[in-house]
Chain A
Amino acid sequence: MDLFLQFLVNGLVTGSFYALSALGLTLIFGLMRVVNFAHGEMYMLGGILGWFVTARLGLDFFSGLVAVAVIMATFGWLVDRVLIERVRDQGEEPGILLTIGLSIFLANTALLLVGTAPQKIEGPVGNQLVMLGPIVTTELRLFAVATCALLILAAHLVVRKTKLGSAMRATFQDPMAARLAGIKIERVYASTFALGCTLAALAGMLLGSIYSAQVSIGGLISLKAFVVVILGGMGSFAGAILGGLILGVAESMWGGYVSTGLVDIVGFSIVIATLLFKPYGLFSTRSERA
């Protein structure tokens, strides 16, 4: 039983990390209909930048987090205005090709500048053990889970409660009507993409402090994020959270009771099962898919 609880907690912790990593992807897809294959690279850039501003420029973790958010929001804004703007309203394929190209470009540029060595980001709290009854975890992980929850909540509030959020949702429902109502939809698109990139980058820095920040991580992150988004339903916040937790716990249980060597089979099985039985995911934000 103790073992089961430990597996459950391990799964919930990694699950909340998966949820945060997938949030930016689901946001960009749900609101902009752009399938962002460069998502994992945004996560990677967050980790690498986080290492750069803390280890090289000497900022503390939280100032570093703010700096990364500002840089990546600007970067996301520019990517949308300069690149994605040009393929908007041309269907999904040009956007897919564009973001695949962008992901290759970003990964290799980072490889050139930073190199292949994994980098260490100093966490804001120590790595002391925390015993919750029979369950073991660390302070840093609890801190990261709390930060994940805060970031998810903050993103939710931005989309639901602010004027920008209303404009985003209006643009998503009907770009023409939104434009007629005086919404500058170019700005809305750019801020949505910026928000998605920022979330991915913050996840990258936060998790970089627990694991390590490395240039080649992008593909793996994209893969897991797509599993979460397909399971949860494209564009759904609740779906991303639940999808992340389900994936985390399923992987942990599979690893714990079946085989740690075949853990990736879990994600792919979930994707296949979801597409067969519930093709719009657990919480789809619209009934038909483009």
Chain B
Amino acid sequence: MRNILSVPLAAVALFGSAAAYSQETIKIGLVQPLTGSVAYNGQADLNGSKLAVEERNKAGGVLGKKVELVVEDGQCKPANSVNATEKLIQKDKVVALSGAFCSSATAAIMPVAERYKMPLITGVSSKADLTEKGNKYFFRAAETDALLSRAFAKILANDLKLKSVAYVGVNDDWGRGGVEEFSNDLSAAGVKTAAKEYFDHGVTDFYTLLTKVRASGADAIFVAAETQDGSILVKQIKELGLKMRVFGVGSWATPDFIKLAGPAAEGIYAAVPYVSTYESPRNVEFVKNYTAAYKEPPGKYGNAGYNALNIMMDAIARAGSTDSEKIREALHKTDYNAPNGNYKFTDKGQAYGFSLVLVQIKDQSPKVVASTSVDAPK
């Protein structure tokens, strides 16, 4: 037994110390919710991230080294995400970070990244004030609720001819933010606000909430919810026989959402930053590779993870080193051709230039109704 063990030990002794050995790969840390009520979407982000890393490694890696993705479960909780981030930085010695999905969790890990001068990118967290905190190591390759809502308010008011809308959101900063932004922009476009209601993550019964919505007399209902909560909510809207147009933000146009909601998903609108049926050569290729790897087409979060990791790896390659200041500067020069358009960053680290689409679910598949691109925020 001792002899067998001594072979790899001798190899390490021959080729250098264990520390030098770990320099063989470039490590990027990923914090996502892999358990809990948003685990499903966190897993999709992880899948996209993994695909980006695999593709890059097949093409020779970054700076002549392979990229290694070190994954931690932050559960979308601020405390767990901070622990995960500390572990990634201190124990795993990652050179850059991607995460942490929920805006509240990302807000919690941002000061940690800043303390260790660690470039941090999120492909998901959309709460507006994240890029307003003056954290120069933070980059957001995602739309904010404000950008999304501004881009869509006109389309919704003019094309769908909405008169009065009831707003329903999940009871966290993202859901509340979405409801506020959309109700403001739609009011400005002349649409009345009939009601605003919130529900907690993981709630399964929406009858009370929907009873209030029905009593409000709205002709459309806006929903800010993720797959699990959203699919149950949409089912119950149909069960209660509410004759309203349904549109929403969140992970709505995904195959799983459509499968879970069943016939209730027909006809609903979703304002999304990404849909797998979007037609561009880059997207066709991405969808093909993603589907080959995971047996399902990518959704919003698969694409988000894919983009975040690609942008980060591009920046490391452009920086020519794993020095955090150089990576940070290189991130500002990002001009990344994503499946859903082109990403650039403002001085505050907010991405712009990429496309957003309004889809309607017909025959169990999201059809693009309109598309618009994100302008640089003022």
Known: A10-B207, A252-B208, A255-B209. A129 touches B241 (CB 8 A): yes
Q: Name which of B204, B208, B212, B239 has the most chain A CB atoms within 10 A of its CB.
A: B208
Q: Does B303 contact A (CB under 8 A)?
A: no
25 contacts between A and B (CB under 8 A): A6-B207, A10-B205, A10-B207, A10-B208, A11-B208, A107-B35, A116-B35, A116-B43, A117-B40, A117-B256, A118-B40, A120-B259, A120-B262, A127-B239, A129-B239, A212-B228, A212-B231, A214-B228, A216-B37, A217-B202, A220-B202, A255-B209, A260-B198, A261-B200, A263-B199
Q: In the complex, A136 Cα to B206 Cα: how many Å?
A: 13
B235 cross-chain contacts in A, Cβ below 8 A: 127
> Which one, B42, B211, B239, contacts A3 given CB within 8 A?
B211
Complex CA distance for A252 and B42, rounded to whole angstroms:
31
Task: Determine whether the beta carbon of B240 is less than 8 Å from that of A136.
Answer: yes
A111: chain B residues at CB < 8 Å are: 35, 39
A131 to B, closest residue via Cβ: B241
Which among B36, B43, B171, B260 is the interface contact of A118 at CB below 8 angstroms?
B260
Contacts of B260 in A (CB 8 A): 118, 120, 212
- Check B171–A261 contact: CB distance below 8 A: yes
Tell whether B215 is near chain A: CB-to-CB under 8 Å.
yes
Which A residue sits closest to B235, measured CB to CB?
Answer: A127
| Chain B 26-38: CB-based contact to A (< 8 A → 1; otherwise 0) | 0000000011110
Residues of B near A261 (CB, < 8 A) are 171, 197-200
Query: Secondary structure at chain B's binding surface: helix, strand, loop or mixed?
Result: helix
How many A residues touch the partner, as a band? 35 or more
Contact B239 A138 (CB under 8 A): yes
Q: Does B284 contact A (CB under 8 A)?
A: no
Least distance between B202 CB and chain A CB atoms (Å): 5
A58 near B: Cβ within 8 Å?
no
B-facing residues in A1-56 (Cβ within 8 Å): 3, 6-7, 10-11, 13-14
Counted as pairs of residues, one from A and one from B, with CB atoms less than 8 Å apart, the total is: 87
* CB-contacts of A186-217 with B (<8 A): 207, 211-212, 214, 216-217
- Is the C-beta of A93 less than 8 angstroms from some C-beta in chain B? no
Within 8 Å of chain B (Cβ to Cβ): is A115? yes
Asked if B200 and A211 sit within 8 Å, CB to CB, the answer is no
A263's closest neighbor in chain B, by CB?
B200
Is residue B188 contacting chain A, with contact meaning CB distance below 8 A? Answer: no
- What is the chain B residue whose CB lies nearest that of A122? B262
Do B212 and A260 touch across chains, with their CB atoms under 8 A apart? yes
What B residues does A175 contact at CB under 8 A? none
Give 4 closest A-B pairs by Cβ, nearest first.
A261-B198, A116-B39, A211-B204, A255-B208
Known: A260-B198, A260-B199. A211 touches B37 (CB 8 A): no
Contacts of A255 in B (CB 8 A): 208-209, 212
- Is B370 located at the chain interface by the 8 A CB criterion? no
Q: Does B203 contact A (CB under 8 A)?
A: yes
Residue with the greatest number of chain A CB neighbours at <10 A, chosen from B34, B43, B203: B203
Is B232 engaged at the interface, CB distance under 8 Å to the other chain? Answer: yes
Contacts A116-B40, A259-B198 supplied; 11 other A-B pairs, CB < 8 Å: A10-B208, A10-B211, A108-B35, A111-B35, A116-B34, A118-B227, A212-B232, A256-B212, A261-B197, A261-B200, A264-B200
Q: What's the nearest-Cβ distance from chain A to residue B234, in Å?
A: 12
